[in-house]
Structure 1
């Protein structure tokens, strides 16, 4: 976890934890979904919410891990990346309302 503690601006050091977390959540969600509902019907909404939360959590941790590993740590970094992509594609800059 040295990459996270040092804030080195990217790379794969330490970010395998995010990949592992998202993988475990996704596998657990798929397993729970395939197993289906068993037990008292009063707990069905709670179990459905729990399975949905596993899928949302897997997506969130995979997204955060990807962004951090690629060096995007703030909204400003994301905006710069977007501007760079637009420039490379030859799309004119957006008009700003001020």
Structure 2
């Protein structure tokens, strides 16, 4: 596949993101049962699953796009700015 950096490991990021999202939705739908003093921990755990899912999906997107370093991301940003006709940033 072109654009995946040649190794295709981005599928693992997609699987990890999906698993975190499914676990978060399942925990959210199940609700909370038990001692009320543990409610903040449960809420934090569910929120962490959703945030982790988004972060993992974004990391997988970057890896699949062939962006592996900050310099690669800077090149993408400058090409987008050039395409929009925005003057380059001063370093």
1:31-89 deviation digits (Å, cap 9, x = unpaired): 11111111110110111111011011101111111101101111111111000011111
Structure 2: runs of 5+ lacking an equivalent: none
1:42 to 37, 41, 47: 37
For normalisation by structure 1, the TM-score amounts to 0.83
Number of residue pairs matched by the alignment: 89
- The alignment's C-alpha RMSD in Å is 1.7
Moved beyond 4 Å, runs of 4+:
none
Higher relative contact order (CA 8 A, sep 6+): 2
Structure 1: runs of 5+ lacking an equivalent: 1-7
For normalisation by structure 2, the TM-score amounts to 0.88
SS of the residue 2:5 aligns to = coil
